[in-house]
Amino acid sequence: MTELWRLGLGQAAQGLAKRQFTATDLVSASLERIRLSEPRLGACLAVLGQEALDRARDLDREGHDPSRPLWGLPVSVKDVFCLKGAPTTAGSRILEDYRPSFEATVVRRLRAAGAVIVAKTNCDEFAMGSSTEFSAFGPTRNPWDPGRVPGGSSGGAAASVAGFQVPAGLGTDTGGSIRQPAALCGCLGLKPTYGRVSRYGIVAYGSSFDQAGPLARRVDDLGLVLAAIAGPDGLDSTASGRPVGDYANVAEARPGELTLGLPDELWAADFDPLVLGVLERARRELAGAGVRFKAVPMPNLRFSVATYYILAAAEASTNLARYDGVRYGHRSGGDPGLLALYRDSRTEGLGQEVRRRIMLGTFVLSSGYYEAYFRKAAQVRRLIQEDYRKALEGCDFLLAPVSSIPAWPFGSFTDDPLTAYQLDMMTLPLNLVGAPGLSMPAGLGGGLPVGLQLMGRAFDEAGLLSAAKALERILPPLGDPPGL
């Protein structure tokens, strides 16, 4: 019964079904692993130890239930998901003492499927960032090199999965926050189609972009979690009523049947040589296995960064107006008066990057600038959607890098936000389009994980997973992060 923490979701589920170990064994192993690795990783903002153990014991007492696909399996959730009565900070001081009185739909569904939530994971404040360095509660470290960032904003989720604390975690992806940290930490991450998964009970950032999705170490495990959380929800009118696919049981595609489009604009980026080396080797290996490639022009992708940062900031500025010191979290005890209460509560409670986005968003929505910035960006978003549709006409999926550089040393870009925004160029197009995509490990460059991204058609998560299974067989697994 050694090394239960090593098992993926599917393997652990089998062991539970065969009574090789109990839910309590599995959850205890995860909690012990968290205890041992947290000093190094800092992936968790809250560990729900007692609650998780109580729940695992309840499950064991009730007996194994084959109708619940995640029965007894430990998972982590990013700290933007509301858990009734548990801290939910979104990485922000302004929500430090907030305890929701309700549960996010995805959390309710995970539990209904039998999962045990063991931890809430660290993230950039309000999910704004790409390194988890903007968390108000300290950094998360990359499992492969503790001197480097895990990516973000779901950096805690990625480190918890790649660091073997849990077999799977839930993150959110507004502009890459599931796919990019997964790539930088060496695990997999799936961003579903906008509307595939309910956003009810998720701390909002950019409401026309936000989607929740799984991080895991195997393609099959992404499917298991997606199957549990996807589907319509009366509490979120943007959650689609389309039938949910059989994500937990997809057949593996045959490499010889796959034609992958390579977006010119993304493959022409200025890559770190170590990253480029891994990407080229991966492409050779895929081609050797029979995968066909086709270069696809997507000229408007060069506007993705500007477009996204205008629209996402605009949406953030309206979503974050609710943190006014009156109803939620931190309230300033300073100057009297309503305006001072708003001003001081927000100044004390919100970090610099979040304030920057609010200012930017307020500016692009303000009278006289709305047409020049917000409306223009909304129009360019349509052009990017059109590019995406055309690119997929002659191929099955798009294949792209995730990041032009590997995980970077802490502090590399904290004084240079524009360069940091620019680094998101590979992940933003998918969010602007609303289509599904996933990132998976392509190999190690200089001892650091490098990821590849597969993008598909709206609501074809099943097809995406099936192609990813073929790629997973061809691309070599990364092995264990050293020293963990």
Q: Which residues bind ligand GLN (CB under 6 A)?
A: 127-130, 153, 173-177, 205, 312, 424
Buried b (16+ CB within 10 A) or exposed e, 411-428: ebbeeebeebbbbbbbbb
Residue 48 or 313 with smaller CB distance to ligand GLN: 313
- Of 153, 154, 160, 403, the catalytic one is 153
Q: What angle in degrees, to the nearest 10, is found between the helix axes of 23-41 and 155-162?
A: 120
Under 8 Å between Cβ of 153 and 132: yes
Residue 114 or 176 with smaller CB distance to ligand GLN: 176
Residue 371 or 415 with smaller CB distance to ligand GLN: 415
Under 8 Å between Cβ of 87 and 99: yes
Beta carbon of residue 183, minimum distance to ligand GLN (angstroms, whole number)? 13
- Cα gap 474→454, rounded to integer Å: 14
Beta carbon of residue 304, minimum distance to ligand GLN (angstroms, whole number)? 11
Chain position carrying tokens 């998976």: 440
Bond into 153 cis (ω within 30): yes
Beta carbon of residue 375, minimum distance to ligand GLN (angstroms, whole number)? 20
Under 8 Å between Cβ of 260 and 253: no
Whole-number Cα distances in Å, 24 to 19, 49, 63, 208, 327: 12, 12, 12, 39, 38
Beta carbon of residue 484, minimum distance to ligand GLN (angstroms, whole number)? 26
Whole-number Cα distances in Å, 313 to 124, 129, 174: 15, 12, 11
Residue 174 or 300 with smaller CB distance to ligand GLN: 174
Q: Which two tokens stand for residue 415?
A: 């004084």
Residue 71 or 303 with smaller CB distance to ligand GLN: 303
Whole-number Cα distances in Å, 474 to 281, 291, 413, 442: 11, 10, 34, 10
Does 30 participate in catalysis according to the annotation? Answer: no
Residue 15 or 206 with smaller CB distance to ligand GLN: 206
Beta carbon of residue 130, minimum distance to ligand GLN (angstroms, whole number)? 4
- Looking at residue 44, the DSSP 8-state letter turns out to be E
Beta carbon of residue 284, minimum distance to ligand GLN (angstroms, whole number)? 30
The DSSP result for 449-468, as a single string, is EEEEEEE--TT-HHHHHHHH
- Of 28, 37, 76, 78, the catalytic one is 78
Beta carbon of residue 198, minimum distance to ligand GLN (angstroms, whole number)? 17
Give the start-end residues of each E strand in 297-447: 397-401, 437-445
Residue 55 or 78 with smaller CB distance to ligand GLN: 78
- Of 30, 154, 177, 317, the catalytic one is 177
Under 8 Å between Cβ of 472 and 465: no
Cα dihedral 415, 421, 426, 431 sign: positive
Give the start-end residues of each E strand in 198-246: 211-216
Cα dihedral 458, 467, 6, 37 sign: negative
Beta carbon of residue 209, minimum distance to ligand GLN (angstroms, whole number)? 7
Residue 233 or 315 with smaller CB distance to ligand GLN: 315
Does 120 participate in catalysis according to the annotation? Answer: no
Residue 27 or 178 with smaller CB distance to ligand GLN: 178
Does 153 participate in catalysis according to the annotation? Answer: yes
Neighbours of 297 (CB within 10 A): 13
Residue of 309, 299, 301 whose CA lies nearest to 377? 309
Residue type at 277 in one-letter notation: G
- Which amino acids are annotated catalytic? 78, 153, 177
